[in-house]
Structures are given as C-alpha cells and as structure tokens.
Amino acid sequence: MAKKALCIGINNYPGTHMDLQGCVNDAQDWSAALLARGYKTTTLLDDKATKAAMVDAMSKLIASGSKGDSLIITFSGHGTYQPDEDGDEVDGLDEALCPYDLQTKGAALTDDEIKAIFAARKGGVRLLLIADSCHSGTVTRAAKAEPDADTRPRFMPMGNWLPASKLPKNFAGKAAQTMVAPNGTSPLTGALVKQVGDLLLSGCKEGPNNYSYDAKISGRYNGAFTYYALKTLKALKPEATYADWYKAILKSLPSASYPQTPQLVGTAAARSRKALT
C-alpha cells in the first residue's frame, strides 16, 4: 500500500493586493508531518503553484494511486468563487481554489475542474483532502484581535482578480465585486466520492461568513486550522481515528481570536478509520 501526498501553500498573489503570510509554512508543516508518518510528499509553494502546475501535480498524484493506496492533498491559500458557466450551480457560482497566477493569468481552479481530475481515480484509492482556505464571504467580518493575532481571512473576492467584463451585474447594472450569501461549498467537497476512505477536513464550515484565518501564533505565521490540527495530531493516541482527531481540534477552534469551526466531511466508515493510515 503506497502513501503519497501533495502539499500546496500560496502566500503571494501578484496583482491582487491580498497576499497571505502563513500558507507556505502550512504546506511545509503538513509535508513534514506526513513524511514522519510514511508518506512520500511533494510540495508546490508560491510561484511554483500556478494553475497549470496544480492541475498537473493533482492529476499525476491521482493517476499514481492504486487500490489500497492512501493519497492526501493539502491546500493552504485563498478560496474564491466566480460566475458559473455551465449551469450546474444553484447559486450561479462556481467555487474555486486560487493559484499563484490567479490575477496574472485570470483563472482559478474551479470545483468542476477538480472534480474532473478526481474522476480519473482508480477504485479502492483512499483520498483525504485538507483545506485551510475559505470560499464565501465579503471579507468585512474580522475576528477579535489579540496582541499576537492576525485576523486576515483566506478569501479572495471576485473583484480582486476577475476583469469587469466577466463579473456578474448587481441590481444597479454595474459589475458586482462580490455576491450576497453564496452557498460557499468548498471546491474540494464536490470532488469527494461517497465511498469508504474519502474525507474532507477543512478549516471552516461551508456557507456564508465562514472563514479560515491566517494566524500568527507564538511569533510564527500559520493557518489557525493547520496550527491546531497539527498540534493535536502530535498528541493523538496511535489508535486514534479521524473522528477522534476532529474532536480534538474542536477543543481549540473556534476561539476568540479565530472564530472558525472546522468540519469533517465523509462517510461514517471513513471517519472511524485510523487517522493517516
């Protein structure tokens, strides 16, 4: 049984004026933790994490998996949404991950594209998706600040990267920079196949006004979710399940500084499986 992981972290988003600070650390920390647990890991950081590179790396990871293999993808960076072009979204929006060249190339990695990549997966491959990003909101809500806290949400409004010609229109007939209360489903959620082994562990709930935060904890930048997920992972008993891990994370989040509630999506069988096996 092979164990492989792809860890993506993007701080720098040229042209958007919305750079982050903890995402590269997240990817490196996930990679180190997974290496210690027997995973062969690959990282894509900042300018290496273009949309083309993300598609290529995800596709190669999925293609390499055989029955019984365990594959993990972690993503730390901005989430976003854009107008749905094929009519498959009730709210008229496609949720997406933001690659490094989001603004310079003008293309996010949408839920439809990710679903197509994952559809090539062989039967019996176990897939864990770890997302420290958010996919809805107007970036107007801020957490209560503490001296050592950074309250930057990991959400990229459409108006920061899409040209005006591609933005939806608001009630005044002008280009809308954001939309009101989109469903905000993670683009990784739609890629899950409802079978034993598939799980999504993410930094915040789905839906409007739920954010994953860039954090500064003990003088170092991380995603708040990544920091506490890895901290609790170290303390888990060897036989601990994904459900046990998730329960442990909820003891730290939400907090006064980071009012985000992580979520675990998957079948009961998947949730009860031994973590990271």
Active site residues: 78, 134
For the residues of the chain, what is the DSSP string, one character each?
--EEEEEEE----TTTT---SSHHHHHHHHHHHHHHTT-EEEEEEGGG--HHHHHHHHHHHHHH--TT-EEEEEEES-EEEEE-SSS--TTSEEEEE--TTIIIII--EEHHHHHHHHTTPPTT-EEEEEEE------S---PPP-TT---EESB--GGGTS-GGGSPB-TTSSBPSS-SS-----TTGGG--SSTT-EEEESS-SSTT---EEEEETTEEEEHHHHHHHHHHHHS-TT-BHHHHHHHHTTTSS-SS-----EEEE-HHHHTSBTT-
Q: What Rg value do the Cα atoms of the chain yield, rounded?
A: 18
Tokens 């009630």, located at residue? 171
Closest CA to 216 of 257, 155, 253, 263: 257
Question: Within its chain, how far is the Cα of 162 from the centroid?
Answer: 20
Q: Which two tokens stand for residue 138?
A: 């107007």
